[in-house]
Amino acid sequence: MPRILVVDDVATIRKIVTAVLGGVGYQVTESSSAQDALSICESRAFHLILVDVEMPGMNGLELISRLRSLKTSRSTPVVILAKDGRDENIKRAETLGANGWIEKPFTPERLLSAINQVLVDHYVN
């Protein structure tokens, strides 16, 4: 099953995402900060990385930029979590190489649909 890294500074969001994705068989690793996520990605590859945009310290946009410079995540699909679908951060994230976005709050169905679509688009098409 695909390995997914979830990066969000809010523990509740990480736990919800882990429960939903883990419940259908995805192998989920949680990270509470962008810096921690970078450290994890330096030694492990993932099939997809789910990134919150707004985090203290290094934000999700900077994380995407830094992920693209790592050998293990250069071409890994990245999906961002954004508070508003009209958020200018979505456009910036796409410019940096994000493959999709999920608006918060999200339903389990919306989360699974978005993740599955990005994985299919990236690995099958």
In angstroms, the CA 68 to CA 96 distance is 8
Regions of the chain where pLDDT drops below 70: 85-86
* CB atoms closer than 10 angstroms to residue 19: 11
What is residue 85's predicted lDDT score, i.e. its pLDDT? Answer: 66
Query: What CATH number corresponds to the domain at position 108?
Result: 3.40.50.2300
pLDDT of residue 89: 82
Number of domains in the chain: 1
Which pLDDT score is estimated for 88? Answer: 82
Alpha helices in 4-123 (DSSP H): 11-23, 34-43, 60-67, 88-96, 108-123
Residue 40 sits in which domain range? 3-123
Q: What 8-state DSSP symbol labels residue 34?
A: H
| Alpha carbons 97 and 13: distance in angstroms, whole number | 23
| Residue 81: per-residue pLDDT | 93
pLDDT score at 125: 75
Please give the model's pTM, rounded to 2 decimal places: 0.95
